[in-house]
Amino acid sequence: MSHDEDILRAVEQWLTDVVVGLNLCPFARKPMRAGQVRYAISGARSDEELMENLRVEMERLDREPAETLETTLVIVPCHLERFEDFNQFLDLAEWLIERGGYSGIYQLATFHPDYQFAGTDAGDAENLTNRAPYPILHLIREASIEQVLERYPDPESIPENNIRRVRALTAEQCLQLFPYLFRDDNSRGH
């Protein structure tokens, strides 16, 4: 199996077991089952290369209807390994969305193996809701989110429900769902 296949398998497993399996995103199941999720593995090793990858993926979303391609996960295995660097890059990504005229069209959700919400400690359970095997920039169609939210009861409760779910996980469940968090730092595949 190639390195890219390993990366793809790890991200698909995370999406299936964690995001959908724990119902952290109640909107993810449908496009995943319909094959409307694009997994774009970025070979970027610089911010500039990654910005270009994001631009290309937004243009791809422009060209393809949501019925065919609902959302794109840009997986970044070779860049932004440190969460601090990833977090700083997000300002550039948001600038690109705005500069490209994509504000209100695409929204960015972010995931990282070392994700840490402001005001939390690194080991706090709620950080697990955004911890993935690799840095991921998730491009989401805002129109699709708006449609789903119109039909979803109490969307404001989603973050708190997610925190409750991950806090309830046993150590064994965490090891099974997040194996990449318990490996030696040198074995993350970078």
Strands 71-75 and 136-141: antiparallel
* 14-17 own/partner pairs: CB under 8 Å, 24+ apart: 14/132, 14/133, 15/73, 17/177
The residue extents of the domains of the chain are 3-187
3-class DSSP assignment, residue 118: coil
- Alpha carbon of 77 to those of 44, 67, 69, 80, 130: distances in Å? 8, 28, 23, 8, 16
Average pLDDT over residues 119-124: 94
What is the share, in percent, of the chain residues with pLDDT greater than 90? 84
At 98-111, the pLDDT tens digits run 999 999 999 999 99
At 8-38, the pLDDT tens digits run 999 999 999 999 999 999 889 899 999 999 9
